[in-house]
Amino acid sequence: MTDLLKKIQSIRIEDFAYPLPDERIAKFPVEPRDASKLLIYQKGVIGETLFGNLPQHLEPNSLLVYNNTKVIHARLFFFKETGARIEIFCLEPLSPADYAQNFQSTESCEWLCLVGNLKKWKQEPLTRELEVKGNKIFFTAERVGTEDKAQRIRFSWESIEGAPPLFGDLLEQAGQLPIPPYLHRETQASDETTYQTVFSRIEGSVAAPTAGLHFTPEVLKNIDEKGIFRSEVTLHVGAGTFQPVLSEYMLDHTMHSEFISVDKSFLQNLLNHLGAVTAVGTTSVRTLESLYWFGYRLLAHPEIHHDEWTLDQWYAYGQMSEWQKAESIRQIPTEEALEAILNYLDINNLSVFTASTRLLIAPGYQFHVVNAMLTNFHQPNSTLLLLVSAFLGGNEWRKVYDYALQHDFRFLSYGDSSLLLP
């Protein structure tokens, strides 16, 4: 075990607490989106402006990377004959495991789900009747297994007349958009628009990449006119993003897994802008930094056959030193790691790199791709706050959050944002 790994695992989450009164949690966004406040942290100096002025604070010829994921109607409700309501919260597809293929299913599919009121649901199938595109559908959910604290749920459906709908269409009709639990309110019609970014297009998330919620077409137009490049990644945000760390030490915390996808043109664009990369949100940060470690693995272990790409939460802290000691070579530059992924795609005749990441970014982590970050203000005792702390170094995150609390910034998903330029 490396010294760095010991350091990360011994982090006490109580050191990342701060007082957050409920009235500081934004229950709804400001209108228009770009009228939200933007905190600017630049080399230890803090100021503020409105989000609409963001382009003025980004350098020409730099690269802005944002997450194009779209939040799905992941909350489903079924009722037993007794009237008991069972909530099924879809987390990630299992069969088919590919998001796009799963949404295209026409008869059945399986998902890993959280189930509310589980003690009232034994093993009997639950069925509800609904209408999708004019067709009457019988929609059924069955429990088929347990994985950790989640349930493996098989969904099946049949149409009384006409072709059965796609699962994606069925979710859209039968499901509800999941808003964060800390808002302490029901989903409203306005959330259908305000809880999606203006560049959301790839369905799969159960939570929004909230730093992107502030962008408007006008802001994007001004970014383009200033000569700032824009590029998209996909990371489907999981429910774990809502969860505070409950263990005393990070050693005992298990990071949630999230699906990422980038295409060849993005990787080439990224290579052309190394040293000038601004990530929109912690999801983009995790995607970009995970790419480095996937490329690192390709170069460190070219003999491994990669059927499924997954990244363990401790990989960045435990494997590098062990490999360097064994091979006696230098740390891999970022450019070489990204080129390794491009070469892998070429060799395997692939146009898109897909993987799952559980990467934990915590104080002590060395950033390899991201130079600046745009992010909202996160929950106390959360892994997202650990990421911000790692990016700023030392206790600088406290300076930022103290300023935000003292200057009437709004917090969490529908709150204000910050541009971090360490």
395-398, long-range: CB within 8 Å, 24+ apart, which pairs?
396/41, 396/44, 396/422, 397/16, 398/18
CB 209 within 8 A of CB 413: no
Class of 3-70+191-421 in CATH: alpha beta
Express each pLDDT in 133-183 by its tens digit: 888 999 999 999 998 789 999 999 999 888 889 999 999 999 999 999 999
Q: Would you give per-residue pLDDT tens digits along the chain (422 residues)?
A: 578 889 999 999 999 999 999 999 999 999 999 999 999 999 999 999 999 999 999 999 999 999 999 999 999 999 998 999 999 999 999 999 999 999 999 999 999 999 999 999 988 999 999 988 888 999 999 999 998 789 999 999 999 888 889 999 999 999 999 999 999 999 999 999 999 999 999 999 999 999 999 999 999 999 999 999 999 999 999 887 767 788 999 999 989 889 999 999 999 999 999 999 999 999 999 999 999 999 998 998 777 666 678 999 999 987 554 444 444 345 799 999 999 999 999 999 999 999 999 999 999 999 999 999 999 999 999 999 999 999 999 999 999 999 999 999 999 999 999 999 99
Kindly calculate the radius of gyration of the chain based on its CA atoms and give it in whole angstroms: 22
Single-letter code of the amino acid located at 179: I
Q: Can you read off the two tokens belonging to residue 67?
A: 């997450």
**In which element (H, E) is residue 352 found?**
strand 352-357
Express each pLDDT in 182-233 by its tens digit: 999 999 999 999 999 999 999 999 999 999 999 999 999 999 999 999 999 9
Residue corresponding to tokens 């990071």: 255
Please provide the DSSP assignment of 161-185 as one string.
SSSPPPHHHHHHHH-BPPPPGGG-S
CATH 3.40.1780.10 residue window(s) in the chain: 3-70+191-421
As a whole number of angstroms, the distance between CA 52 and CA 50 comes to 5
Neighbours of 180 (CB within 10 A): 19
As a whole number of angstroms, the distance between CA 285 and CA 287 comes to 5
- Who's near 323: CB < 8 A, 6+ residues apart? 300
| pTM, 2 dp | 0.93
